[in-house]
Chains A and B, each alone.
Chain A
Amino acid sequence: MTYIGIIITFVLIENFILTQFLGLCPFIGVSRKIDSAVGMGFAVIFVMSMASLTTWAVYNLILLPLGIAYLQTITFILIIATLVQFVEMIIQKTSPPLYKALGIYLPLITTNCAVMGIALIAVRKGYNAFESFVAGFAAGVGFLLAILIMASLREKLDSEWVPKPFKGIPIAFVTAGLMALAFMAFDKALLKNLIG
């Protein structure tokens, strides 16, 4: 697939949160305020791009040639855990308020299905090194896009009336559901029409 195709696919058509449900926990957890949402989004973009590139390298240069492809799950998650540790240290040094705002959700990027998800999907689709990197980056951007829209909506919702049982989590899910409905406009047909 062309690089534009990859970007459009992972940002809009197969938006990780709204169509694949990868990355829901932080999505629901960090989307209350726009600032923390943006911070989380950028951290995720960084981790996802680096992760998909690194996992591509390990899979194609080490696992496959040695015939130990079955160790994919273990090696991928360990790579991701290491990357997240690294990002944590950087954020702690460069922006302590962001570090505090993200709180527990920063180390939780490790168990964020989205990061592991894009690493696995890039391998399944047989992308080369650069394609994997672009896919990771694009998926991260898609995550940022979704979480940004969500945070804006939730900030607005906070000052509106919501039926009691729906307050908090349920209305967040319903909002996400409506966002997913809107994103259905971006489907394969759109991609085909855009790039033929």
Chain B
Amino acid sequence: MLKEFTKGIIKENPIFIILLGLCPALAVSTQVVNALGMGAGVIFVLLGSNIFVSLLKDFIPEKIRIPSYIVIIASFVTIVDLVMQAYAPALSRNLGVFVQLIVVNCIILGRAEAFANKNDLSRSVLDALGMGIGFTLGLLLISLIREVLGAGTITLFPIGAFNGVIRIPVLYSAPARVIGLATGALLVMGYLKALLNWFDQRKKV
């Protein structure tokens, strides 16, 4: 059972292994706080979607399953969007269109289609959590690299007096800006994936 949860984190990590949900991954990974916010949103939608698809799997006829899943997913995305606008406006502004774009995040429809409509509730919940956390971790990794090298900071949530920005001494004064830009995202992704392949190939030998 636990395997359903852990598979999403390493073996079938959505970002690095299955290569789903890339668009938001590369677009919002300019700051760590954005990654955290996006990750939270995706986990919430994934949970909602997997739960309802699993609960309704015998109710939804095969012919209309894709439109039904879309309506369910879009509803949860709208909830996240409205709640974020009301209670976390800064995050909402930073993530911009990408909050609504969670609805086309292949991961969510992918899990509904590949897993939740064939498995019971508890497994679906674990699957959602595992995939969601795996996505968030992958996103965090990319964001950390991009923000630390590209801007020399790590931006977290402001708490009280702490405005949320941690500056890294040497890098802050001379960051490699290109990494924070579009090019950097694609290059970082390429190199990370190559690194993963390298580990994989060494294991096989």
Contacts and interface: CB of A to CB of B under 8 A. Distances in A.
Direct touching of A and B (C-beta under 8 Å) = yes
Interface stretch (B55-63, B75-83, B152-160): B75-83
B191 interface: yes
A108 B22 CA distance: 14
Interface in B182-200: 182-187, 189-191, 193-195, 197-198
Contacts, number: 129
B27 A21 contact: yes
B1 to A, nearest CB: 29
Contact of B104 (A20, A70, A112): A112
Given A21-B185, A176-B186, A177-B186, A74 B97 contact: no
B102 to A, nearest CB: 9
Contact of B197 (A19, A78, A165): A165
A181 B103 CA distance: 29
Contact of A24 (B26, B100, B187): B26
B74 interface: yes
A8 interface: no
B19 interface: yes
B181 interface: yes
A179 B197 CA distance: 23
Nearest to B194: A170
B194 A165 contact: yes
A165 B198 contact: yes
Given A24-B22, A24-B26, A73-B77, A164 B190 contact: no
Q: B interface, by DSSP: helix, strand, loop or mixed? A: helix
B78 A74 contact: yes
Contact of A113 (B66, B81, B101, B186): B101
A111 B106 contact: yes
A124 interface: yes
A174 B103 contact: no
Interface residues of B, number: 42
A173 B201 contact: no
A87 to B, nearest CB: 15
Q: A interface, by DSSP: helix, strand, loop or mixed? A: helix
B20 interface: yes
Contacts of B20: 25
B109 interface: yes
B190 A25 contact: no
A166 interface: yes
Interface string A163-191: 11111011111101110110110000000
B82 A70 contact: yes
A81 B70 contact: yes
Contacts of A174: 186-187, 190-191
A167 B109 CA distance: 28
Given A81-B66, A112-B104, A177 B78 contact: no
B198 A25 contact: no
A73 to B, nearest CB: 5
Contacts of A78: 67, 70-71, 74
Given A77-B70, A165-B195, A117 B190 contact: no
B182 A169 contact: no
B23 interface: yes
Contacts of A108: 106
Among A28, A124, A173, A178: residue with most chain B CB under 10 A: A173
B186 A180 contact: yes
A102 interface: no
7 contacts: A22-B101, A28-B22, A77-B74, A111-B109, A116-B103, A170-B190, A177-B185
Given A21-B27, A24-B23, A28-B22, 9 more contacts: A21-B182, A25-B106, A74-B70, A74-B71, A78-B67, A78-B74, A165-B197, A169-B19, A183-B182
